[in-house]
Amino acid sequence: MTENFLDEQVWKELKIGHLKLKWPLIIHNVDSTENCLGKITHCCWLKIYYQHQFLRMHLFLTDLGQDHFILGYPFLFTFYPEVDWRAAKLKGGTVRLEMTGFQCAQNRVERCQAVVQSCVGTLKEGKEIWVRKLTTAQQWAH
């Protein structure tokens, strides 16, 4: 069974979020050797565009050597591309990957952190602050 994979170094350069898997996955390279990063523990979500269609898909993070990403069965099943197997190329055009809102979420977190810091100052490591969202009626009352 093949999946979609993203090289961990490429993931670091993109500075996008990732999710921890419930259970680590043991991965082997095409030559049957175990991957140098060991078990896969994280994945990320990207939008995959191909032939005027797109879909959010998860990609497992691992060491892919010189490859940036590998699109496996989930991509093939979803987009059903025409493939020139001898040239190892898709006939229908290029594939484009795009981040899925992680930058928006990161910006929101940074704005919240700035508001909290302006209200309470810089917290020492290990200290916590709890913030609750006020309803519209509570906001007007204060």
**Do the beta carbons of residue 42 and residue 50 sit within 8 Å?**
no
Q: Which domain does 73 fall in, by range?
A: 5-99
Residue 105 in any domain: the answer is: no
Identify whether 20 is part of a domain.
yes
Q: Is the residue at 138 inside a domain?
A: no
Secondary structure letter of residue 133 according to DSSP:
P
Does some domain include residue 112? no
Is residue 131, in this structure, part of any structural domain at all? no
Q: Is the residue at 139 inside a domain?
A: no
From the list 106, 96, 88, 93, the residue with the least C-alpha distance to 57 is 96
Confidence at residue 134, expressed as pLDDT on a 0 to 100 scale: 58
Q: Does pTM surpass 0.85?
A: no
Q: For the chain, how many structural domains are there in total?
A: 1
The per-residue pLDDT for 126 is: 64
Name the amino acid, one letter, at 15.
Answer: K
Segments in the chain below pLDDT 70: 1, 100-107, 109, 121-142
Q: Transcribe 2-68 into DSSP letters.
A: ---EEEHHHHHHHT---EEEEEEE--B-TTSPBPTT-SEEEEEEEEEEETTEEEEEEEEEE--TT-S
Q: What is the pLDDT of residue 17?
A: 84
